[in-house]
């Protein structure tokens, strides 16, 4: 009464019992509301603090621990009480939930189930049980005397459920309950944020098809490791070579199963300790300590996997590249992944199943890079690159019936370079699109030049399957055709069988578009790929161009084999009603065998070598006047 100035009334004469009662009770009410306000104000500050503490936590462990500490602080749970956070899987009963983190008395129950915790409170067991069962079924927080159950889930993102069980020494005051309710909003948001972060990071760092880490993860892992650890690391890249072929010939499910099994075998064969990531569709990267690197024999064994797929043994060949990070320049250690990939590429290119990175290889790679740069500037400056044309002939009469554009590069100091050298290098980068675009534009111009001299023969040019992926290239092609300055029937594109089949899904669609526009399609180097009849028949091809190795073998060491292939391809072309042409005809014997077997068209040094456009024109003019 002294505190609230109620004592002055003692002296008042008119103070009746009733009046005193009213005054005292109204003052007590005021006191109560002031206290509540104070608690609330303090509570608000606490919630703000608590919320700050939990928002800085991004993993579930750190987050729950902080939340537990903050709940204890908010409602004053001392050591004799306890707060526990349990994680419940969707199909579990609430009692089966496992306790992730706990404080106070509950600490000893961490990693155990709620059921076990309840055994320690026999008299209250049933009440608590129904308390949190109710919380789970109503998805609300429940308070009952000194026990509370807070329930959260992140169902919008994943199927995680969380239960907080709070045991306070005394019955919770309404003010405490309101604090908990307000704080729960923040907890709920926190769980949601973590769920979202998890999802994002699993999308960004995880390959969901194979349940392994992906390239982003590997990059992060590598960048975050110390220079010391990095220098102790060996990177082993494994490319499962027939993945794409399998995907096309046998379907995506089959190819994926093959990859899964391949990964499983590689895990066993490579090393007991490593981290693995899927770097490309068909390539894995294993990171391991140098001391765990398998020896050459073991690595060589791992290049041939024997898988059991649909009850058939499937032999799968792999290319392996090994890069010891200690072997690369300090300045380049952040490029380790790219260098490992380049090593793999180099091995693949050279046909060696196992390729170790070495400084010499680095130099070769450097040279390739230099070549790319030079090629780039040749393209930009439109200098040094020109086309030659190799005629296609009637095998019987020798008459020119068409021509193929072949690119030549006059290198600033290395002389004329064969496309066999620079095209494969360009194909490893986007440069191939620019090159082929240049060729295509030039071919259009050259056909016009021929037309102006009253010469109309079909002219073909080579494309890479990578051109079909390139919107730039396809758009340029469309624009050139739409100008309608040349008859599309005078134009033919050549794509190799291997590339067509490796990128079958894209190639098939694009070839359809191209042939619908009236441009012819020729399948180059035919017989060297592994396409099935079903696939060939679906490609919109007008011509099969038999690979020159078969033609040359006709007069080589195994003429019978070559002859069998030559005949088989002829049968195929009859079957699919396509034209057929043989390339690389170097002598009369080869020409005669081809003629005997129903071939009418051919190309090769026997007739002509690739020549400048002007020479081709002269020859054609000569041919026309006879």
DSSP string computed for 375-427: HHHHHHTT-SEEEEEEEEEETTT--EEEEEEEEEEEETTTEEEPHHHHHHHHH
Q: What is the three-class DSSP state of 322?
A: strand
* CA end-to-end span of the chain: 132
Q: Measure Cα distances from 400 to 447, 523, 593 in Å.
A: 15, 20, 20
Contact window for ligand C2E (CB under 6 A) among 165-173, 227-235, 459-467, 555-563: 459-467
| One residue of 43, 81, 527, 604 binding ligand C2E per CB under 6 A | 604
Q: Identify whether 583 is a catalytic site residue.
A: yes
**Count of CB atoms situated within 10 Å of the CB of 303:** 19
Nearer to ligand C2E, 207 or 404 (CB): 404
| One residue of 62, 384, 559, 584 binding ligand C2E per CB under 6 A | 584
DSSP symbol at 190: H
DSSP symbol at 173: P
**Closest distance of CB 495 from ligand C2E, Å:** 9
Contact window for ligand C2E (CB under 6 A) among 162-170, 212-220, 413-421, 470-478: 413-421
Q: 372: burial class by Cβ within 10 Å (0-12, 13-18, 19+)?
A: middle
Contact window for ligand C2E (CB under 6 A) among 34-42, 311-319, 414-422, 556-564: 414-422
Q: Using CB under 5 A, which residues numbered 500 to 529 contact Ca ion?
A: 524-525
Looking at the DSSP assignment, which residues form a beta bridge with residue 83?
166
**Closest distance of CB 222 from ligand C2E, Å:** 34
User: Is there binding between residue 615 and ligand C2E (CB under 6 A)?
Assistant: no
Contact window for ligand C2E (CB under 6 A) among 129-137, 269-277, 566-574, 581-589: 581-589
351 binds, among Ca ion, ligand C2E, none (CB under 5 to 8 A by kind): none
Q: Using CB under 6 A, which residues numbered 490 to 519 contact ligand C2E?
A: 494
Residues near ligand C2E (CB under 6 A), total: 25
162 binds, among ligand C2E, Ca ion, none (CB under 5 to 8 A by kind): none
User: Is there binding between residue 529 and ligand C2E (CB under 6 A)?
Assistant: no
Q: Residue holding tokens 């919008």?
A: 156
Q: Is the CA virtual torsion 356, 357, 358, 363 positive or negative?
A: positive
CA–CA distance, 280 with 239 (Å, rounded to integer) = 9
Q: Output the six-digit token pair for 550.
A: 């078969």
**Closest distance of CB 547 from Ca ion, Å:** 6
User: Is there binding between residue 391 and ligand C2E (CB under 6 A)?
Assistant: no
| One residue of 103, 168, 184, 464 binding ligand C2E per CB under 6 A | 464
**Closest distance of CB 307 from Ca ion, Å:** 33
Q: Output the six-digit token pair for 10.
A: 């003692």
List helix spans (H) across 225-335.
227-231, 243-250, 252-270, 296-301
Nearer to Ca ion, 70 or 525 (CB): 525
Which entry of 17, 364, 583, 586 is annotated as an active-site residue?
Answer: 583
CA–CA distance, 394 with 397 (Å, rounded to integer) = 6
Residue pair 583/547 in contact (Cβ under 8 Å)? The answer is yes
Q: Using CB under 6 A, which residues numbered 548 to 577 contact ligand C2E?
A: 548
User: Is there binding between residue 497 and Ca ion (CB under 5 A)?
Assistant: no
Per-residue x/- mask for Ca ion, residues 435 to 474, rule CB under 5 A? ---------------------------x------------
Nearer to Ca ion, 328 or 387 (CB): 387
Residue pair 344/358 in contact (Cβ under 8 Å)? The answer is no
DSSP string computed for 472-498: HHHHHHHHHHHT--S-GGGEEEEEEHH
User: Is there binding between residue 410 and ligand C2E (CB under 6 A)?
Assistant: no
Active site residues: 583
Using CB under 5 A as the criterion, which residues of the chain lie in contact with Ca ion when the complex forms? 462, 494, 524-525
> Which residues contact ligand C2E (rule: CB under 6 A)?
390, 406-407, 418-420, 423, 436, 439, 461-464, 494, 524-525, 548, 583-586, 603-605, 610
């Amino acid at each position: 009464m002294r505190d609230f100035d109620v004592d002055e009334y003692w002296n008042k004469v008119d103070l009746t019992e009733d009046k005193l009662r009213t005054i005292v009770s109204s003052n007590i009410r005021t006191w109560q509301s002031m206290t509540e306000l104070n608690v609330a104000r303090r509570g608000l500050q606490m919630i703000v603090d608590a919320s700050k503490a939990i928002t800085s936590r991004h993993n579930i462990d750190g987050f729950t621990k902080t939340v537990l500490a903050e709940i204890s602080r908010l409602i004053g749970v001392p050591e004799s009480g306890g707060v526990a956070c349990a994680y419940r899987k969707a199909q579990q009963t609430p009692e089966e939930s496992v306790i992730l983190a706990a404080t106070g008395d509950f600490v000893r129950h961490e990693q155990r189930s709620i059921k076990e915790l309840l055994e320690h409170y026999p008299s209250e067991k049933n009440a608590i049980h129904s308390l949190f069962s109710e919380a789970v079924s109503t998805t609300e927080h429940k308070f009952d005397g000194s026990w509370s159950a807070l329930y959260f889930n992140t169902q919008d993102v994943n199927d995680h459920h969380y239960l907080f069980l709070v045991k306070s020494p005394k019955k919770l005051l309404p003010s405490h309950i309101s604090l908990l309710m307000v704080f729960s909003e923040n907890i709920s948001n926190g769980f949601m944020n973590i769920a979202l972060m998890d999802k994002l990071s699993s999308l960004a760092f995880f390959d969901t098809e194979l349940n392994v880490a992906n390239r982003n993860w590997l990059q992060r892992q590598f960048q975050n490791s110390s220079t010391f650890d990095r220098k102790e690391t060996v990177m082993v890249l494994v490319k499962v070579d027939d993945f794409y072929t399998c995907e096309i010939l046998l379907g995506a499910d089959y190819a994926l199963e093959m990859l899964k099994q391949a990964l499983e075998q590689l895990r066993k064969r490579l090393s007991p300790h490593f981290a693995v990531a899927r770097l490309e569709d068909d390539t894995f990267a294993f990171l391991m300590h140098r001391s765990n690197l398998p020896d050459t024999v073991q690595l060589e064994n791992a290049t041939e996997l024997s898988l059991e797929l649909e009850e058939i043994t499937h032999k799968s060949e792999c290319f392996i590249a090994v890069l010891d990070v200690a072997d690369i320049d300090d300045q380049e250690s952040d490029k380790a992944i790219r260098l490992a990939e380049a090593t793999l590429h180099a091995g693949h290119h050279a046909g060696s199943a196992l390729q170790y990175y070495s400084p010499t290889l680095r130099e070769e790679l450097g040279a390739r890079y230099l070549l790319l740069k030079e090629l780039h500037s040749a393209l930009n400056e439109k200098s040094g690159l020109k086309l030659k044309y190799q005629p296609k002939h009637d095998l019987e009469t020798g008459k020119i019936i068409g021509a193929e554009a072949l690119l030549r590069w006059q290198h600033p100091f290395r002389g004329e370079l064969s496309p066999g050298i620079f095209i494969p290098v360009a194909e490893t980068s986007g440069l191939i699109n620019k090159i082929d675009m240049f060729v295509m534009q030039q071919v259009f111009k050259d056909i016009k030049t021929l037309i102006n001299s009253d010469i109309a023969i079909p002219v073909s040019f080579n494309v890479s399957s990578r051109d079909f992926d390139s919107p730039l290239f396809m758009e340029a092609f469309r624009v050139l055709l739409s100008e309608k300055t040349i008859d599309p029937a005078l134009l033919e594109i050549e794509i190799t069988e291997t590339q067509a089949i490796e990128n079958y899904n894209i190639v098939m669609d694009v070839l359809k578009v191209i042939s619908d526009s009236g441009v012819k399609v020729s399948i180059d180097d035919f017989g060297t790929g592994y396409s099935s009849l079903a696939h060939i028949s679906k490609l919109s091809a007008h011509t099969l161009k038999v690979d020159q190795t078969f033609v040359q073998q006709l007069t080589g060491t195994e003429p019978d084999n070559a002859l069998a292939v030559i005949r088989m391809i002829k049968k195929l072309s009859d079957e699919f009603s396509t034209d057929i042409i043989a390339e690389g005809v170097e002598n009369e014997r080869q020409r005669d065998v081809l003629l005997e077997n129903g071939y009418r068209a051919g190309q090769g040094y026997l007739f002509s070598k690739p020549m400048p456009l002007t020479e081709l024109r002269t020859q054609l003019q000569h041919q026309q006047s006879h």
